[in-house]
Amino acid sequence: MMVILHVMVGAGIAHVASARLQNPTDGSVRRPTIPLIAGAAVVGLLSHGVLDGLKHGYLLSAGPDIMTGATLAVLWCLAARPPLRLLFAAAIAASLLPDIIDHGTTMLQWKLGIDVPVEGHRFFPWHWHDGSGSLR
């Protein structure tokens, strides 16, 4: 699945998680608790598997997708109210983490020409050949 979509879903998870943190009387926002941040991160991680399991193609090549997704993630975190920035960063980062773990070294070698060992085994089952919904 495209990086941009993982970022959008991670941000959506953070939005849902933060819904009850706003004080309705004055509009102030409470800081999220560690369990709330951890829960949003776990849901973000699992959302990656759901998205990757769906049948999908890639509308953008890897370079523009990664750059646009990274820019979107940073801007989304900066746009969040300061008490919520960690929550947004955790949910978005967790939604991207499986690709970083399973494809990070491959991308470094392929795009940047950095000589790093690339293992064929993928940790997350939705990245295994029979678990991915990729149409490629």
Q: Is residue 87 part of a domain?
A: yes
Q: What's the domain count of the chain?
A: 1
Q: Which 3 state secondary structure label does DSSP give 56?
A: strand
Q: Is residue 7 part of a domain?
A: yes
Q: Is residue 25 part of a domain?
A: no
pLDDT at 76: 96
Residue 113 region by backbone torsions, left for phi larger than 0, else alpha for psi between -120 and 50, else beta: left
Q: Is residue 66 part of a domain?
A: yes
Q: Is residue 101 part of a domain?
A: yes
Cα–Cα distance, 41 to 52 (Å, whole number): 17
Buried b (16+ CB within 10 A) or exposed e, 25-52: eeeeeeebeeebbebbbebbbebbeebb
Q: Is residue 132 part of a domain?
A: no
Q: Is residue 44 part of a domain?
A: yes
| Domain boundaries, position 60 | 3-18+31-127
Task: Give the pLDDT of the chain (136 residues) as one tens digit per residue.
Answer: 688 999 999 999 999 999 989 888 888 899 999 999 999 999 999 998 888 877 767 677 778 888 999 999 999 999 999 999 999 999 999 999 888 777 766 666 666 666 666 566 666 666 656 655 554 5
Q: Is residue 89 part of a domain?
A: yes
